[in-house]
Amino acid sequence: MLRPLTVSILQQEAAKFARAEARHAEPSLFGVTDGKAVGTYLEHKFQTELQSRYRYARGSSAKGIDFPELEVDVKVTSIRQPQSSCPFRSGRQKIYGLGYSLLVFAYDKHDDEATRTGRLEIHHTIFVQREQTADFQTTSGLRRLLESKANRDDILAFFQERLLPVDEIEAGNLADEVLRSPPQLGYLTISNALQWRLQYSRVIEQAGAVGGILRLK
């Protein structure tokens, strides 16, 4: 019988996987420079290992995230430019988070000419809890406004200055929600695009030092 996968087990397995992968020489990665191909390799290998030992629903592009039951998505990124994309749902995500947690593998790739293999040294394995997946500048700015007794008009003006991708009705609803329920501080940098562009430098810097951002390795 396979054991059910939990978030805690996922975190433990991610740390073990990262350590093991750093010692693995992979012929199919030799000469590969496409970050998406490296990410696909690492995610598939991690999922395959988990599925051999645990019972869980595997995600798909249609479901949006890799572990839908656990509400966790895996992100693989180069340490040289730690960023990736994710589906855009609404401008609200920049204020209240993506709606799921992130498991981030930040790697550096090395090729061995003699053996014609590639090796992924995973420098950081970080778990970002869903509550901390909002945009840092947006949430810190809103929190400062609220501390200075901002009103609805102040918050709407802030949304305009930040080019928050919302229409007028959604902006009004969000401003009311912010006044009722101040957002927690997020630690991602989220850039506006057809898909969100997530940047992880601050997450890497703060992992283990602030609540909700766990350094697994």
Spell out the CATH class of 3-87+99-134+193-215: alpha beta
Q: Does residue 62 register a pLDDT over 60?
A: no
- Give pLDDT tens digits for 160-204: 999 999 999 999 999 999 999 999 999 999 998 767 889 999 999
Residues 181, 146 contacting (CB under 8 angstroms):
no
The whole-number pLDDT of residue 61 equals: 56
- The answer to pTM > 0.85 is yes
Which amino acid would we find at residue 5?
L
Domain ranges of the chain: 3-87+99-134+193-215, 136-180
Q: Residue 159 pLDDT more than 80? A: yes
87-143 confidence digits (pLDDT tens)? 888 999 999 999 999 999 999 999 999 999 999 999 999 999 999 999 999 999 999
> Does position 146 have pLDDT exceeding 80, yes or no?
yes
Task: Write b or e for each residue in 96-117: b if 16 or more Cβ atoms lie within 10 A of its Cβ, otherwise e.
Answer: bbbebbbbbbbbebebeeeeeb
pLDDT of residue 63: 59
